[in-house]
Amino acid sequence: MCRAKFVAGFGGIAILGLSTMRVAACDGTGGPCACPGELTLGTVSHSPGQSTFGTLGFTPPAPPPSTLATQNVHVFNFDFSTNPSGMPIMDAVINVGDTVHWTWDSGLHSVTSVAGSIESFNSGNLSAPGPTFDHTFTHAGVFTYYCDIHGFDIGDGTAGGMFGTITVGAPSSTWNVDFDGSWNTASN
């Protein structure tokens, strides 16, 4: 987080007990601030007939663009794959917060999570072409799902027949401040 540091002079404004105020750069030097946000300095009159004093404002930078993604999975006779029918069968690999978008290419099928899964979802039986179903994953892990017409829940977190898996990776941690932050502050 970029923070401007205030260095006060000495003097005579009655309320603040200061006559001048200058702003040091974020790193404490006297040079210009290299913050990604916008630093503004305005002037406000203290009261009629008295001198004015400056006000300082800081507009933080815009948040980074979303890194969340959507992974398309094709539903066809008798499998699920990130590749279209006729290509090698591939299960989806995503990150926490990403969405899987199932698209029915052929047949009558469902997308149903196995019993006891921490990620529970069920599209119901949908017939191709055209229907879609989305689920956003909020937990890391490997999640098994199946078609309730052409597959079955084995009861131990796995499935047989027409089934697929979604591997959801945990987000990596990054430090959001250049220096001088607390590990106990979640936004850092």
Are residue 48 and residue 85 in the same domain, yes or no?
A: no
Kindly state whether residue 187 falls inside one of the protein's structural domains.
Answer: no
Sort strands 126-127 and 108-109 into parallel, antiparallel or unpaired.
antiparallel
What pLDDT tens digit does each residue of the chain (188 aa) get? 333 333 344 343 333 333 444 444 444 445 554 544 444 545 444 455 555 545 555 444 444 445 679 999 999 999 999 999 999 999 999 999 999 999 999 999 999 999 999 999 999 999 999 899 999 999 999 999 999 999 999 999 999 999 999 999 987 666 666 666 776 776 66
Cis status of the peptide bond prior to 60, with omega within 30 of 0: no
Q: How many domains does the chain have?
A: 2
Residue whose tokens read 């469902």: 110
Residue 119: domain span: 70-169
Are residue 28 and residue 103 in the same domain, yes or no?
A: no
Kindly state whether residue 104 falls inside one of the protein's structural domains.
Answer: yes
Predicted structure pTM score:
0.59
The CATH number of residue 137's host domain is: 2.60.40.420
